[in-house]
């Protein structure tokens, strides 16, 4: 009897205790849910940050780049393997532990390739770019006469080539901010040339939005096309003749880039010379005074750095930029005239400045100072794009042997490119052209082309283009035009990239 009374007396106490325990559990569950939501938001922010930094690193390193795909939500990350580097995930959720390796073989859209491995110590990503080209130069004149009356015969082509193949390995090691890039680049049309196969790369430390620093091979930001937007061009792997004539190229050096604010960014580089592919260290002089810088303003929001509006911008966006370059060049540190991506200082009739007898005398220029300024502007809206650039070049401070009748050169010129997506993300047409105003001739070119993206992505396209050239001052086997080319060229390309 007493036992029954005691049990009856204790029952309300147990119920109260149970209610208290349930409330505590619910509070803990709510706290866990809040923590999970905060971690999910942190993951989203970190993923977006890494995607932005990788895209900007691609711009200054010459990587194939394209607009990033949608950033996955944390649930998608968990279901489809981590999209963040393991160290980043650990920072966002310190309680999580991993076994090595986390995963292998994830494909990443947006031109980032395949992630071969992702571990807490670093990751490895593989990308590939290649294209095959049919080139017909039978519409060109067979001979060319330069400004000084010297005639030469053009070696025109009508052939098929597996034109270029580039293998990229990139990622981070030790710290997600420490990025590496290694690549093998082969231009098969330059068989036997010094830069037919290039094995190179660079290292970059991503400090923050305002400042990032790298060392290695990179593109001098002399014009818009050397800012790192290749291969997001209208033409497949070739520029207008004015851009080719005025620009610098790839070299080894220190480069820095960052954002001053949401609309203003910069890109700068100190390098060995204007164009180092195919040039060994023994050919370089001791000046180390090659540098270039660019200031880019996007007043109406992010502006995809490539040419054209493949992305179908919903609102009008604009771009304005200024570039300045400086270099002391000598005849010894020039690449071969057929080396891919070579950047030679030429007269506007195509004559190489450092060639013996360039000015039809017995003299020769051994050394000169190159300075070049370029300004560009562009706008994009719902698949339409209009983009232009103007160039100014001064070459002076000649050091000569024998008689050279001039001591400085000044040239200027421009390019314009207009494009339209006839079918969103599928069919694109474009018109581009340029003109050079030089002391030894005023050459120009115009091109009409079309591209088909059968998978509605930049990963594969078929392209065809007609070019009309008027006494081109530039050209080599990797591009569809020749020095002195006058007439029409047709070429067709099949391009792949991931």
Which residues neighbour 323 within 8 Å (Cβ) at sequence distance 6 or greater?
221, 222, 223, 224, 292, 293, 294, 372, 373, 374, 375, 376
Q: Tokens 């880019």 — which residue? A: 296
Beta strands in 188-260 (DSSP E): 197-206, 212-219, 250-259
The tokens for 45 are: 């922010």
**In whole angstroms, what is the distance from residue 351 CA to residue 152 CA?**
12
Query: Is there a contact between 317 and 298 (Cβ–Cβ < 8 Å)?
Result: yes
Structure confidence at residue 280 (pLDDT):
87
Structure confidence at residue 204 (pLDDT):
97
Structure confidence at residue 79 (pLDDT):
29
Structure confidence at residue 343 (pLDDT):
81
Total length of the chain: 498
Phi, psi of 30 (to 5 degrees): -60, -40
The gap between the terminal CA atoms of the chain, to the nearest Å, is 83
Beta strands in 308-382 (DSSP E): 317-330, 364-381
**In whole angstroms, what is the distance from residue 11 CA to residue 5 CA?**
10
The tokens for 292 are: 């270039």
The tokens for 247 are: 């620009």
**In whole angstroms, what is the distance from residue 351 CA to residue 148 CA?**
10
Structure confidence at residue 11 (pLDDT):
42
SS3 content of the chain, % helix, strand, coil (to 5): 20, 45, 35
Which residues neighbour 143 within 8 Å (Cβ) at sequence distance 6 or greater?
151, 152, 153, 154
Please tell me whether residue 342 adopts helix, strand or coil conformation: coil
DSSP classification of residue 102: -
Instruction: pLDDT tens for the chain, 498 residues: list them.
Output: 333 334 444 444 434 344 556 667 777 767 777 777 677 666 666 666 666 666 555 555 444 433 333 333 333 332 233 222 333 323 333 333 334 445 567 888 767 789 998 889 999 999 999 999 999 999 999 999 999 999 999 999 999 999 999 999 999 999 999 999 999 988 888 777 666 788 899 999 999 999 999 999 999 999 999 998 999 999 999 999 999 999 999 999 999 999 999 999 999 999 999 998 888 888 998 899 999 999 999 999 889 889 999 999 999 999 999 999 999 999 988 887 777 778 889 999 999 999 999 999 999 999 999 999 999 999 999 999 999 999 999 999 999 999 999 999 999 999 999 999 999 999 999 999 999 999 999 999 999 999 999 999 999 999 999 999 999 999 999 999 999 999 999 999 999 999
CA quadruple 461, 158, 485, 354: dihedral sign: positive
Please tell me whether residue 352 adopts helix, strand or coil conformation: strand
428-455 in b/e form (b: 16+ CB < 10 A) is: bebebbbbbbbebbbbbbbbebbbebee
Q: What is the pTM of this model?
A: 0.80
**In whole angstroms, what is the distance from residue 102 CA to residue 70 CA?**
22
The tokens for 192 are: 């036997």
Q: Is residue 490 classed exposed, middle or buried when 0-12, 13-18 and 19+ CB atoms within 10 A define those classes? A: middle
The tokens for 456 are: 């509605």
**In whole angstroms, what is the distance from residue 358 CA to residue 289 CA?**
25
The tokens for 170 are: 């990139």
Query: Is there a contact between 239 and 227 (Cβ–Cβ < 8 Å)?
Result: no
Query: Is there a contact between 180 and 203 (Cβ–Cβ < 8 Å)?
Result: yes
**Which residue ranges make up each domain of the chain?**
107-497
In whole angstroms, what separates CA 349 from the centre of its chain? 30
Please tell me whether residue 138 adopts helix, strand or coil conformation: strand
Name the CATH superfamily housing domain 107-497: Porin (2.40.160.10)
**In whole angstroms, what is the distance from residue 31 CA to residue 29 CA?**
5
**In whole angstroms, what is the distance from residue 416 CA to residue 451 CA?**
18
Identify the CA nearest to 267 among candidates 306, 208, 324, 221. Answer: 221
The tokens for 365 are: 């220029």
Structure confidence at residue 334 (pLDDT):
87
Q: Tokens 């290649």 — which residue? A: 130
**In whole angstroms, what is the distance from residue 196 CA to residue 342 CA?**
11
Structure confidence at residue 131 (pLDDT):
97
Q: Tokens 């073989």 — which residue? A: 105
């Amino acid at each position: 009897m007493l036992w029954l009374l005691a049990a009856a007396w204790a029952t309300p106490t147990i119920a109260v205790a149970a209610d208290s325990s349930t409330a505590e559990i619910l509070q803990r569950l709510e706290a866990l849910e809040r923590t999970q939501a905060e971690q999910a938001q942190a993951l989203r922010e970190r993923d977006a940050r890494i995607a932005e930094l990788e895209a900007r690193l691609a711009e200054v390193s010459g990587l194939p780049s394209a607009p990033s795909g949608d950033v996955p939500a944390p649930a998608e990350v968990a279901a489809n393997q981590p999209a963040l580097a393991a160290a980043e995930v650990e920072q966002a959720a310190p309680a999580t532990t991993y076994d090595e390796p986390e995963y292998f073989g994830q494909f990443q859209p947006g031109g980032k390739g395949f992630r071969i491995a992702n571990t807490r110590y670093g990751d490895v990503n593989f990308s590939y770019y290649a294209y095959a080209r049919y080139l017909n130069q039978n519409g060109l004149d067979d001979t060319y006469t330069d400004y000084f009356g010297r005639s030469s015969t053009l070696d025109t082509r009508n052939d098929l080539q597996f034109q270029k193949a580039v293998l990229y390995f990139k990622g981070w090691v030790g710290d997600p901010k420490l990025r590496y890039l290694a690549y093998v680049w082969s231009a098969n049309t330059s068989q036997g040339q010094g830069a037919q196969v290039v094995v190179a790369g660079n290292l970059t430390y991503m400090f923050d939005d305002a400042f990032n620093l790298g060392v290695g091979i990179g593109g001098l930001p002399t014009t818009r096309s050397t800012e790192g937007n290749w291969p997001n061009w209208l033409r497949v792997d070739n520029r207008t003749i004015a851009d080719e004539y005025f620009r610098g190229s790839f070299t080894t050096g220190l480069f820095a880039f960052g954002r001053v604010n949401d609309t203003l960014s910069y890109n700068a580089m100190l390098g060995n010379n204007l164009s180092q592919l195919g040039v060994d260290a023994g050919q370089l002089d001791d000046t180390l005074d090659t540098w270039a810088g660019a200031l880019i303003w996007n007043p109406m929001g992010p502006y995809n750095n490539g040419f054209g509006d493949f992305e179908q911008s919903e609102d009008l966006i604009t771009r304005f930029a200024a570039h300045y370059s400086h270099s002391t060049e000598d005849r010894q540190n020039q690449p071969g005239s057929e080396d891919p991506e070579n950047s030679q200082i030429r007269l506007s009739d195509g004559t190489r400045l450092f060639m013996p007898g360039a000015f039809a005398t017995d003299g020769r220029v051994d050394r000169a100072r190159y300075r070049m300024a370029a300004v560009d502007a562009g706008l994009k809206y719902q698949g339409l794009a209009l983009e232009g650039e103007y160039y100014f070049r001064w070459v002076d401070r000649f050091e000569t042997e024998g008689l050279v009748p001039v001591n400085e050169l000044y040239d200027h010129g421009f390019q314009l490119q207009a494009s339209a997506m006839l079918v969103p993300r599928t069919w694109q047409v474009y018109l581009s052209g340029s003109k050079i105003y030089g002391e030894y001739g005023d050459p120009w070119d115009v091109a009409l082309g079309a591209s088909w993206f059968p998978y509605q992505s930049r990963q594969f396209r078929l392209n065809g283009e007609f070019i009309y050239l008027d006494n081109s001052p530039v050209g080599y086997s990797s591009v569809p035009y020749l020095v002195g080319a006058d007439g029409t060229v047709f070429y067709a390309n099949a391009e792949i990239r991931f």
